[in-house]
């Protein structure tokens, strides 16, 4: 942990922003960089319910460009809170969220994952897949789940 990066997945939500604050504290404490990860989920269908006029490929390109731009801006804001020698590495991936987080953590040999929990309970918990819980169970490194 002391020499490896911290992976912090984000969906740009308020809860993810709260988790990012913990990632910043941990990065400064251990003097390691932060990998800021955003995953673009695949579109639900190729028809996009008639809403989009672009092709699926154009839609994916626009989503990726938007995500890269937003993530780069967020990374710049985060660097202001990190110690001088530390940096933020923005990463955009596509696919299944849980699988991509695990894959990124293994490929980059991160020392810790700091992830937000959206705190679903009851029926909402059953209907919405709990990514943070799945990541905590499958990750090969320590995982800090932030509410």
- Tens of pLDDT, residue by residue over 11-31, are 999 999 999 999 999 999 999
pLDDT confidence of residue 125? 40
pLDDT tens across 57-113, in order? 777 888 899 999 999 999 999 999 999 999 999 999 999 999 999 999 999 999 999
Residue 69 and residue 5: Cα distance in Å, rounded? 22
User: Which domains does the chain possess?
Assistant: 6-146 (3.40.50.620)
Which SS3 state, helix, strand or coil, does residue 133 take? helix
pLDDT confidence of residue 1? 61
pLDDT tens across 37-70, in order? 999 986 555 555 555 556 777 778 888 999 999 9
pLDDT confidence of residue 46? 52
The angle, 0 to 180 degrees and rounded to 10, between the axes of the packed helices 97-107 and 131-138 is: 30
- Residues 6+ positions from 70 with CB-CB distance below 8 Å: 12, 38
Structure tokens at 34: 């932060």
């Amino acid at each position: 942990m002391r020499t490896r990066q911290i992976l912090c997945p984000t969906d740009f939500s308020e809860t993810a922003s709260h988790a990012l604050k913990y990632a910043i504290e941990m990065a400064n404490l251990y003097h390691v960089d932060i990998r800021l990860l955003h995953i673009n989920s695949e579109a639900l269908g190729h028809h996009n319910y008639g809403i989009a006029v672009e092709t699926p490929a154009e839609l994916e390109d626009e989503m990726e460009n938007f995500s890269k731009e937003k993530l780069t801006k967020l990374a710049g804001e985060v660097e202001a809170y990190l110690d001088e020698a530390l940096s933020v590495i923005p990463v955009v991936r596509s696919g299944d969220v849980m699988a991509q987080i695990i894959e990124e953590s293994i490929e980059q040999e991160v020392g810790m994952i700091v992830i937000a929990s959206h705190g679903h309970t009851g029926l909402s918990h059953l209907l919405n897949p709990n990514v943070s819980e799945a990541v905590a169970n499958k990750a090969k490194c320590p995982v800090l789940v932030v509410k």
